[in-house]
Amino acid sequence: MIELIGVVVSILATLMVGGLAYLKNKNSATNRLFGLLCVAMAGWTGFNYLSVHLSLGQLNLIRLIMFFVVLMNTSFFFFVQNFPSPKMKINRWAVIGIIYATLVLADALSPFLFSRLLVENGSVSPVPGPGIILFLIHAVIFAGGGVVWLIRRYWLSAGLLRAQLRYVLIGTVLFMTLLPLTNFILPLAAHISSLIILSPFYTAFFAFATGYAVLRHRLFDVRAIVARSLTYALLLLTLAGLFGLIFLSTQKLLIHGVVGSGGQSILSATLAISLALTFQPLRRFFERITNRVFYRDNYDSQVVLSKFSKVLVSELELNRILKKTLTQLCEDLHIQFGQIIVFNNDRVYRIGHYGELPKRLMIAPELAKFNKPMIVADELDGGERKSIMDKHSIRVALNLRTREEFVGYLLLGDKLSGDIYSGQDLELLEIVGKELAVAILNAKAYAEIQDFNLTLQARVDHATNRLRVANRHLKELDHAKDEFISMASHQLRTPLTTIKGYLSMLLEGDAGKLTKPQKEFVDYAFGSSERMVNLISDLLNVSRLSAGRFLIQTKPTDMVQMIADEVRQLGSHAKAKGIQLVFDKPAEPLPPAEIDDNKTRQVIMNFIDNAIYYTQKGEVRVTLEQSGDSVRLEVRDTGIGVPEKAKRKLFSKFFRADNAQIVRPDGTGLGLYLAKRVIEDQGGTIIFSSIEGKGSTFGFELPFKHPKPKHEDTHGRSKT
């Protein structure tokens, strides 16, 4: 009798859920397919019961069961493919599937599926025919394929759809696991049919869980049903296990005559007391476990308010307040999306979003309908407000207002769990709304101060722009200066060259033999003209650098011969100062280096000449060697060295160290600047180290093969 009541209740509940889903939206393919699925499950449940309890017509009842199984699998497959779409997805494969399902439905009612019944040991089981193959293929494709499709969709979904699919998946996994086990595998493989009576329970559970998802989680809290059902199932299983263990132990003692009738009464009383005492503790224990599983999205209001207040206290900038408060609120309450619309003088001032952006923003006339402190969509029976909220997927609209001023709106979407907003949620939102309104007003005041600062900043920027213009004029003047130097250098070079030539002719005796005093005077004049030519050459090179006309022209060059020539020419200068000038040639011949001969020669001459000038006693040693794919030159001296504070600026234009100015007042500060540029433009690196009072090392490393220029600057100058 109890079993019959359970079957009837299960059938009625399944039909009720299916009918409710169908009546809610008759035009929705999802609702229609779910209604058909519920009808198939109800039919399967009813005929399942009859097949166990009726001895007449069992074979036909089993065929009807298989008919409803095929109908269940088919409707389930198309349901999970279309959920929650209102339109049926029809394509070539869907048509083929419907045709195949129709054939299997006909096969289920024919002798090809089950030809006869087999009775063994009082248990009746059907004998499968050749049609069972069509049925099994259909079950694998439609039931198995439906489950795979459902899992895939759940894995790829998010938000409300994921929450809905979760309940469908839970019901499906339990149903698809228990149904084949108790109704097919055990009866066919082990001839055990007694567990078929359990079918109505997990059938009803599947219908309720799936119906809950179809009805957008607004029917009832299925989690409570699942959690409580699981709690009491675990509780009953535990108590039954304890009872069975104690009962078997008692029976064993009775069989061996250890305990008499009086002892049996005591054991029974002890068992009853033990079960009574352990019932409540076990119930609370299992409730805690199930609550952790099914109510993970619960929250502590005080904790949420504390974190929310910390955000408001720690931020002053309005955009950051909107972003952080929405993020905090939506993540703690597990809300799909949120929006804060801030008004200023009856106009939208700022908008903050969390989650997926809406397809279209609400317009002012729509917002004006939210003229109540709090509006909850699920509490509205219909009307314009309900229509607007549904169109924009808004579940809660909260007015943000202080006592004196309207601030804006807080709009919230669905909860990720799909549940409606609870009383706890709404109470929390009321408190949050008041705090948020005050914080936004403070942020707006802060923004006004910031705007004033921006005005000041604009004035500062204006003054800065004027300075930039003045600086640009200065650069133009500097450019004009460079042009003047270039022009003057070119104009001076010609007469100086003439003077130097005639002085050279005098020294060589072309105008007759000179007396010793005359030769000494001409020597001084020739040396001064030589220095003047070098100075003009440096000035010309600097002007070429500024104008972008400083070009590197490479050719294969014998570095050993070049350095030997320079050492020989400067040898007399070193000898006159009593300084030893030494050239350490490489042990093995070097390959020719692809360099600019003239400019590199000038760098080498500059390094050696400086070393001689700034060395009072000791030696100047020139070393040349191969370093991998590069040639390395070092000029080491025992001169005055470079002060530590001057090293950083040593290769800057027109810079000279203090001690160098004392030793050689006529220097220009251009030699090292040009040397660095010549070496780097050829893909090399400058070598420099020095200790004040102990000497210096100047040199460079140049690749044997000159690298191709990577680009040209705005002046057309090649860069490496």
Q: Which of 327, 323, 331, 325 is nearest to 299 (CA)?
A: 331
**Contact, 21 vs 13, CB < 8 A?**
no
Cis peptide before 187 (omega within 30 of 0): no
Domain regions of the chain by residue span: 2-220, 221-296, 301-451, 551-719
Checking if the pLDDT of 121 tops 70, the result is no
CATH of domain 2-220: 1.20.1070
Cα–Cα distance for residue pair 5/611, rounded to 1 Å: 114
264-316 tens-digit pLDDT: 566 566 666 666 667 677 767 766 666 555 555 677 788 888 888 888 888 88
CA distance linking residue 495 with residue 500, whole number of Å: 9
Q: Is the dihedral of CA 702, 706, 707, 712 positive or negative?
A: positive
Residue that wins the pLDDT comparison between 400 and 193: 400
Q: What are the two backbone dihedrals, phi and then psi, of residue 37, each rounded to the nearest 5 degrees?
A: -60, -40
The radius of gyration of the chain from alpha carbons, rounded to an integer in Å, stands at 49
Q: Worst-scoring range by mean pLDDT, 369-378, 420-429, 470-479, 690-699? A: 470-479
**Rounded Cα–Cα distance for residues 142 and 37 (Å):** 13
Does 84 sit behind a cis peptide bond, omega within 30 degrees of 0 on the bond before it? yes
Angle value at C-alpha 389, between 385 and 390, nearest 5 degrees: 115
Asked if 160 and 418 count as a contact pair (C-beta separation under 8 A), the reply is yes
Confidence of residue 147 (pLDDT cuts 50, 70, 90): confident
Task: Retrieve residue 528's tokens.
Answer: 């001064």
C-alpha to C-alpha distance for 607 and 584, rounded to whole angstroms = 15
The tens digit of pLDDT for each residue in 286-300 reads 666 665 555 556 777
Selected residue with higher pLDDT from 416 and 98: 98
Reported pTM: 0.38
Quote the pLDDT of residue 220.
40
Total residues belonging to the chain: 720
Q: Give the span between the Cα atoms of 701 and 682, in whole angstroms.
A: 10
The CA dihedral of 709, 712, 718, 720, to the nearest 10 degrees, is -40
pLDDT higher than 90, residue 635: yes
The per-residue pLDDT for range 69-92, each reduced to its tens digit, is: 899 889 888 988 888 777 777 888
Nearest-10 crossing angle of helices 58-82, 159-180: 160
609-647 burial: b if 16+ Cβ within 10 Å, else e:
bbbbbbbeeeebbbbbebeeebbbbbbbbbbbbbeeebe
48 CB-contact burial (10 Å; exposed 0-12 / middle 13-18 / buried 19+): buried
Inter-residue contact 72 to 44 (CB < 8 Å): yes
- DSSP H or E segment with residue 376: strand 374-376
Sign (positive or negative) of CA dihedral 233, 234, 237, 239: negative
| Predicted confidence (pLDDT) per residue in 418-434, tens digit | 667 877 888 889 998 88
Q: Tokens representing 42?
A: 């109800």
CATH of domain 301-451: 3.30.450.40
What's the pLDDT band for 218 if we cut at 50, 70, 90?
very low
Mean pLDDT score of the chain, rounded to an integer? 78
Strand partners, 595: 555
pLDDT band for position 700 (cuts 50, 70, 90): very high
Rounded Cα–Cα distance for residues 262 and 246 (Å):
17
Pick the most confident of 191-205, 461-475, 583-597, 648-662: 583-597
Residue ranges with strand state E in 288-346 = 338-344
Question: What's the confidence (pLDDT) of residue 237?
Answer: 60
pLDDT at residue 699 is higher than 90: yes
- The pLDDT tens digits of the residues spanning 512-535 come to 777 878 877 877 676 677 667 666
CB 647 within 8 A of CB 690: yes
Beta-carbon count within 10 A of 322 CB: 26
Beta-strand relationship, 711-712 and 396-401: unpaired
Mean pLDDT, residues 571-584? 87
Q: Which class is 551-719 in CATH?
A: alpha beta
